[in-house]
Amino acid sequence: MSRLVYMLKQRKLEYSKGLALQKYIATKFNPSPDEPEEFRNVLIITEHDPVYTIGIRTRDYTIDDENRLRKLGAQFYRTDRGGLITFHGPGQMVAYPVLNLKQFTPSMRWYVQLLEKTIIDVCKEFKVTARTTCDTGVWVDDRKICSIGVHGSRYITTHGLALNCNTDLTWFDHIVPCGLEKKSMTSLSKELQTDVDIDEVLPVFKSCFEKCFNCRVVDMNECDKDEALRRLEAN
């Protein structure tokens, strides 16, 4: 387990700042992405205020759709990730791994499968039986507990996953999550009928991520973290 992944934890992060942080990590923090042995892999862990995001199939969502969702009190963003529409909000652990897959296995398919396996293992630790289907993400029976949408450029990954811990699931009632009709969302709290928050889930997720990706996750040093967040505030 020689590969290092630096974890940058930020309790709350505006969605646009999360995008900017990923870009900074992928470029400025790693000025030579074409030298994989020099790339510093980072796992961003955060939580967003209510926001709806859509992937590359933006034509499926009109300005009217956008305005309707904004009126609910949420932000709305069109992004370059895979997947369709989803929701991020309080009580949802969002993980953005910015990895150079040349240090791991240079395959986006492999990468998504390992993200799914990581979440299945997390759920197992909480005595929740989860699985994958032909649709990307992680499911408990026919209820989706984790959404996954990623982007890769020269094997550098951005975007990631969102695991519902104690999320207010009614936000999903206003959309067709991930474009899947007649499917519902769930959370660890809903499945266990007890409150399970991000602080309880994070150490389990970290351990499962390390095992699945055969790496060691360590906290990013405060100087690097402060510099990254300072640059966000300057933009």
Tens digit of each residue's pLDDT (9 = 90 or more) over 95-115: 999 999 999 999 999 999 999
175, 139 contact by CB (below 8 A): no
Annotation-wise, does 120 bind a ligand?
A: no
Q: What is the pLDDT of residue 235?
A: 62
| Per-position b or e across 189-201, b if 16+ CB within 10 A of its CB | bbbeeeebebeeb
Q: Is 21 annotated as a binding residue?
A: no
DSSP the chain: --EEEEEEEES---HHHHHHHHHHHHTTSSS-TT-GGG--EEEEEE--SSEEEE-S-GGGS-HHHHHHHHTTT-EEEE-SSSS--EEE-TTEEEEEEE-BGGGS-S-HHHHHHHHHHHHHHHHHHTT---B--SSSSEEETTEEEEEEEEEEETTEEEEEEEEESS--GGGGGGS-GGG-TT-EE--HHHHHTS---HHHHHHHHHHHHHHHHTEEEEEPPHHHHHHHHHHHHH-
Phi/psi at 42 (5° precision): -130, 140
Q: What residues are annotated to the active site? A: 178
25: annotated binding-site residue? no
pLDDT tens for the 235 residues of the chain, in order: 579 999 999 999 999 999 999 999 998 888 776 677 889 999 999 999 999 998 876 667 888 989 999 999 999 998 888 778 899 999 999 999 999 999 999 999 999 999 999 999 999 999 999 999 988 899 999 999 999 999 999 899 999 999 999 999 999 999 876 566 667 999 999 999 999 999 999 999 999 999 999 999 999 999 999 998 888 876 6
Domain that holds residue 171: 3-234
148 is in an annotated binding site: yes
Q: What is the CATH number of the domain that holds 176?
A: 3.30.930.10
Side chain identity at residue 124, one-letter code: K
Q: Is 160 annotated as a binding residue?
A: yes
* 161 annotated ligand binder: yes
**216 marked as part of a ligand binding site:** no
Q: How far apart are CA 57 and CA 72, in angstroms?
A: 22
Q: Is residue 184 annotated as involved in ligand binding?
A: no
Does 180 count as an annotated binding residue? no
Q: Tokens 């630096």 label which residue? A: 6
Q: What is the predicted pLDDT for the residue at 1? A: 53
What total number of domains does the chain contain?
A: 1
Q: If you search the block for the tokens 């690097």, which residue do you land on? A: 224
